[in-house]
Structure 1
Amino acid sequence: MEPSVYLYQILDEQAERLEQGTSFTYLEAIAKIGNGLFTGEAPRQLDATAFRKVYEQFKQQQWLPEDVRKAFRLACLKGMKGQVQAHHEMTPDSVGFYMSYLVNKCMSNREEACELLDIAAGAGNLLFTICNHAASPVHASGIEVDETLLHIAYASANLQQREVSLLHQDSLKVTMPAVDMVVSDLPVGYYPDDDHAKTYRLAADKGRSYVHHLFIEQSIRMLKPAGYAVLLVPNHLFTSEQAPKLHRFLKEEALVLALLQLPTSMFQSEQHGKSILLLQKKTTGTRIPRQALLAELPSFTNEEALKQMTQRMNVWFAEQLGIE
């Protein structure tokens, strides 16, 4: 049995026990069990002696960070099943790995650690995927408005023995020091706070503003000059009725380096399809590519096609940005 599956079974069994005996949801229980496995102390609603035996079993294993991340991902998938909209599902691992590739490419010429921020961190799955596959040191942070998901991210980070700063807040209302890299699977839909939306240039002229547009603007705000953003965005990003304002904003503030459309087979329907958007914040002296990298990614089960696509992207990074 894979270690991640074994750890998932521990989390799942104990969370179900906690859920059945209390008013906690399954996701809330996952966070509490994760914390218990880190501290060795049982949630007060569980039998301490029985939990201690589970804890001793847990401590006998040497858990890799990826084992922990995958176990929490499986637990979150179970907890979210049937409860989230198609646009709010967890980022598939295959997509996270491809975003990690882009992050590593953009960081490859750096000598110091990268300040990395996920502005819609959720349970931390994408952030930890990128951290666990980083080719150079990162200082990671995450912002998430959902307290339960943030508690899961906290528990997962502790069991991965990863130092990460986690903030419970609406990312669109946060002011913080600029970072080198923003990554995120952006929420999609409308932002409910119309008054605060008006503080953004990408607020709708009338009616509700797209939250994913505001998150893109906030990503650019939070970047240092020449910093990068690797964002998962809806395919209709540049064709919606509010797209013209987004086009103008990006032309003034950022370089659109790449737009990689994910296979439509990954999504419930074509309208829920997503793409990976790679942006760079404009500054004096920023190298401007002659052409952006626009591509449709092949199926992630087609290894040969993926290998060819990666080779094509490596050539593009080398020729257009001078990144080997």
Structure 2
Amino acid sequence: MDQQNVEKLFTQIDEMATAISEGLNITYLEGVTEALDILYQGQVFEDYPEKLQVDIRNKWLGFNKNHYENEEIRKAIQLATLKGMKGVTQQQHLLTPDAVATFIGFLTGKLTEFHEGSIRLFDPVCGSGNLLTAILNGTDKDIVPYGSEVDDSLIQLAVVQANLQKHNIEFFHQDSLQPFLLEPVDVVTADLPVGYYPDDAQAEKYELKAGEGHSYAHHLLIEQSLTYLKEGGYGIFVVPNFLFESDQAQQLQMYLRDHAHIIGMLQLPEDLFKKEKFARSVFIVQKKQEGTKPPKQALLVKLPSFSSPEKTSNVISQVNDWFSDYHSGKL
């Protein structure tokens, strides 16, 4: 990956998005989606004001997506998306940190190391598609990807991002706690939004519904993910560090005991988060299947800062050793 290419493409997307958002009186993030769609289509939309059409043709239509690697495209889009989300506080409008997305891709590869055939992978809260495309870019495995997102602007951004990176992803534009027309998958990955789910009537259909008041959306999404996992499949979730300390934690623990094996909990570096209360971990489970069992020793790791290559390398080496023992049946 060439960082100069990332910066060059970001500048192009940024300038286009700014011009489009001002010309059409839309948000910058919507302008990013429009700009990416134009770059993908290779032509300006005819319903744009004439001056805007001329500006885009004269300044920005020299783009050739074949000149860029997928990761260069993803990172440039990520920078533009981060700019568009600046100051936004809604959990669903936050990007998975790049180092975390890469690490989840690594874990996905380790968990499916000996999987035969294609791997069906689903992200039920895919947002702009950053985590999903990071996983696809970081593997040579045959992955059949699916993503779901309820937010209009984010699902549109996810679609054009996938198109530019030439990923054939099937997207669902819906509330991810509603039923899906989806066959069970091998892996679910999700950076879970933390908070209450407002639809109490829909929450009533879940085992993890709250006894009173609103249910936790992140709990319900774990249950929904297990519903759409094949028996023996894996769930990889980015969760709050306080997951098992909340007022509904005991209910979650009982549910997991009945339906899943806990494979591991990896605490992410604290310097990734502005405040300790926002700190997150990667939580790995396996859906129960006849003949499966939990590891004798779960993968419990506190990750050092990703800015410390030597310490990170040592921990990754330990994680690799753990997976070798796990797959060989020693654990």
TM-score normalised over the length of structure 1: 0.96
Map of 1:290-309 to 2, 5 A cutoff?
A: 290-309=296-315
The structure 1 residue matched to 2:43, chosen from 41, 44, 62, is 41
The code of the aligned residue for 2:157 comes to: I
Q: 1:292–1:78: structure 2 CA closer, same or farther, 3 Å change rule?
A: same
Q: Does residue 1:163 correspond to 2:168, yes or no? A: yes
In structure 2, which of residues 101, 105, 114 is the aligned counterpart of residue 109 of structure 1?
114
- Measure the CA separation in 2 of the matches of 1:258 and 1:158: 34
Structure 1 residue 27 corresponds to structure 2 residue 33: no
Unmatched 5+ stretches in structure 2? none
Runs of 4 or more above 6 Å deviation:
none
Tell me if 1:143 matches 2:143.
no
Q: What's 2:73 paired with?
A: 68
> CA separation in 2, counterparts of 1:60 and 1:318?
39
Structure 2 CA distance for aligned equivalents of residues 274 and 264 of structure 1: 8
Which secondary structure does the structure 1 equivalent of 2:197 belong to?
Answer: coil
Deviation at 1:53, TM superposition (A): 3.8
1:237 aligns with 2:243: yes
169, 177, 189: which is aligned to 1:172? 177
Q: Give the match for residue 12 of structure 1.
A: 14
Counterparts of 1:6 and 1:174, CA distance in 2: 42
2:324 corresponds, among 303, 313, 318, to 318
The code of the aligned residue for 1:291 comes to: Q
Take 2:25 and 2:90, find their aligned partners in 1: how far apart are those partners?
Answer: 24
Q: Which residue of 2 aligns with 1:80?
A: 85
Aligned CA-pair RMSD: 1.7
1:51 CA displacement: 2.1
> In the alignment, residue 111 of structure 2 is paired with which amino acid?
C
Write the distance in 1 (CA, Å) between the matches of 2:312 and 2:122.
27
In 2, Cα distance between the equivalents of 1:4 and 1:19?
22
- Distance across 2 between alignment mates of 1:94 and 1:139: 23
Q: Distance in 2 between the 1:270 and 1:114 partners? A: 35
* Change in 2 beyond 3 A, CA 1:286/1:135: farther
Q: Structure 1 residues 60, 74: closer, same or farther in 2, change over 3 A?
A: closer
Contact 1:86–1:272 (8 Å) recurs in 2: no
Preserved CA contact (<8 Å) 2:36 2:161: yes
CA contact (8 A) 1:317 1:323 kept: no
1:167 deviation in Å?
1.1
Report 1:213-292 matches (<5 A). Answer: 213-292=219-298
Aligned-pair distance for 1:30?
A: 0.8
Task: Give how far 1:315 is off.
Answer: 1.3
Task: Identify the residue that residue 51 of structure 1 maps to in structure 2.
Answer: 56
CA contact (8 A) 2:261 2:293 kept: no
Query: How many pairs align?
Result: 324
Q: Percent identity?
A: 39
TM-score by length of 2: 0.94
Q: Distance in 2 between matches of 1:316 and 1:259?
A: 13
Please tell me whether the aligned partners of residues 92 and 127 of structure 2 are also in contact (alpha carbons under 8 angstroms).
no
**What SS does the aligned partner of 2:120 have?**
strand
Cα deviation digits, residues 2-59 of structure 1 (max 9, x gap): 2121111111101111111223111111111111111122133253343234454212
Answer with 228-237 or 18-27: which moved more. Answer: 18-27
- Secondary structure, aligned partner of 1:58: coil
Higher relative contact order (CA 8 A, sep 6+): 1
* 2:199 equivalent to 1:197: no
Post-superposition CA distance 1:111-142 (Å, at most 9, x none) = 21111111100000000000100131101110
Unpaired runs of 5+ residues, structure 1, are none
The residue type equivalent to 1:97 in the other structure is T
Deviation at 1:250, TM superposition (A): 0.4
Contact residue 189 and residue 235 of structure 2 kept, 8 A: yes
Report if the CA contact (8 A) 1:230-1:276 is conserved: yes
Is the CA contact (8 Å cut-off) linking 1:117 and 1:181 kept in structure 2? Answer: yes
